[in-house]
Structure 1
């Protein structure tokens, strides 16, 4: 599948919109909680990708998966941590808290890549990291005083695991072993489902809940994952980074409108610092390169 640049932009916007529905959907669950929510979403993601992968990459993809090196399995482990922490965090704190915390991912990635593989971090990015850190710090301070810190701490595991995931894929690329994103996601979803199954039992989810979680597995994770890979073949990294920020905006708005979950002033203020730092850093880097 080959997209034009405008089609890739529209496709990436659609990807972020699909990513952003997790928060509002989980707010309409009846009985499923915590690890059961995580298990069912991962389970249906695995089923969906087992159908989608051959469509996008042919049946040979499963043979490639069997012959994959350790880097792909490490990447899959990172994905499993991201899947688990994201869904558990949504059951512990607000959608806005989770999404804004996840938005620091590019900065954590820059730090981990700098420490692990010597990836150069420009001065503008260090400045943006300080500004974004101030935004997250203000959110943490407000939640600490209110006794609601656990969910945001769990949410922080998502960008940390994402930073290690990116570093693993970059190291593999340097060694001539590129990691295919979608099979790595399949591995991650399978590991997540297996790890959370014992913690999810006994099952309490209603059929209504299972239907919503099946939709998340397909629409919120499997389809946008595959589509984002296609868009990434056309879009430049700064474009993807900026468009991906729409997930934060869409997610907060959907939770606000669809579940009456209004973000607090602390989240809005901290989120503004984080998003502003990301946007300015990416735009400055883009301008410097062009």
Structure 2
């Protein structure tokens, strides 16, 4: 499925394509007819699960399923984190404007830096402390100006996404430090299974139309399963700061698609706060790349 060797330039192009695929969730969700809340999450996770059951054996052979049973607890913790991200993201998208959710998610690398410092002792560079403070101001500005118009539940659910992502990365790094590598693609499969099981009781009775099911299949396969597998592949070639910078394109693509495809125009506070968050992350990652060189 993949070329035997992925060059740096091809990995960059592939990662840009990945961020575009990730970004379609908001605009596609706005065109659903009857499916709501946890039913949306259930169907997307189910289609992701079915797609991965086909993709994984193609990539790693049928032995991948037996190897999962022998994996350590880090794989299963990572799977729980993926499940939280899958579920919280879709619920948040249905509760709040797409732009707010995406900007909140953009803070994930900085939240990761904090958790890694607290739990596994990673040193945080001064530039990252500055970026964390600036990003915090940006998110505060974005939400503070809309506090009366946004549901508190939606804000808390949206924050679950970057926090779960940060926990996931920290667990994987801690496991690798102790000689236990975690294969993130099977972890995505575990996350899809857990998301399906958790949301099924809450999704009943089903109301999705045939039109909705086609759109949710698109999300499960094209917006989640395929790009997650490709992103793991890109991570084998690109450095962490490069991945973090390129991932920001999801925010830009997602806001533009929701604006052009669903008429969801972002407010001044979202644009201003988002600019602070993205600017802080770009500043931090560019300096990180410069230091590595």
- TM-score calculated relative to the size of structure 1: 0.98
**1:261 and 1:94 mapped to 2: Cα distance?**
7
Match of 1:173 in 2: 176
The residue number in structure 2 matching 1:41 is 44
CA–CA distance in structure 1, aligned partners of residues 201 and 38 of structure 2: 9
Matched, 1:230 2:237: no
Give the RMSD, CA atoms, in angstroms. Answer: 0.9
SS of residue paired to 1:146: coil
- When structure 1 is superposed on structure 2, of 63-72 and 25-34 the one drifting more is 63-72
Residues 161-209 of structure 1 show CA distances to partners (whole Å, capped at 9, x for unaligned) of 1111111101110111111011000000100010000000000110110
User: What whole-Å deviation, never above 9, does each CA across 1:99-140 have from its counterpart, x for those lacking one?
Assistant: 000000001000111100111110100000000000001112
Aligned counterpart for 2:35 among listed residues 19, 32, 36: 32
State the partner residue of 1:289: 292
Q: 1:7 to 1:147 in 2, by over 3 A?
A: closer
Q: Give distance in 2, aligned partners of 1:81 and 1:190.
A: 11
Match status 1:266 vs 2:269: yes
Q: Which residue of 2 aligns with 1:68?
A: 71
Shift of 1:146: 2.4
CA distance in 2, matches of 1:143, 1:197: 33
Q: Distance in 2 between matches of 1:131 and 1:113?
A: 19
CA shift for structure 1 position 147: 4.3
Uncovered stretches (5+) of structure 1, i.e. residues with no partner: none
Matches within 5 A, 1:1-290: 1-290=4-293
Query: Following the alignment from structure 2 to structure 1, what is the Cα–Cα distance between the partners of residues 17 and 69?
Result: 31
Structure 2: gaps (5+ residues): none
- Decide whether the 8 Å contact of 1:2 with 1:230 is kept in 2: no
Q: Which stretches of structure 1, 4 residues or longer, exceed 6 Å deviation after superposition?
A: none
- What is the distance in 1 between the residues matched to 2:281 and 2:90? 24
Counterpart contact for 2:116–2:122, Cα < 8 Å: yes
Distance 1:122 1:267 in 2: 28
How far the C-alpha of 1:156 sits from its partner, in A, is 0.6
Q: Distance in 1 between matches of 2:176 and 2:29?
A: 36
TM-score (norm 2): 0.97
- C-alpha contact 1:140 1:149 (8 A) present in aligned 2: no
Q: How far apart are 1:56 and its partner, in Å?
A: 1.2
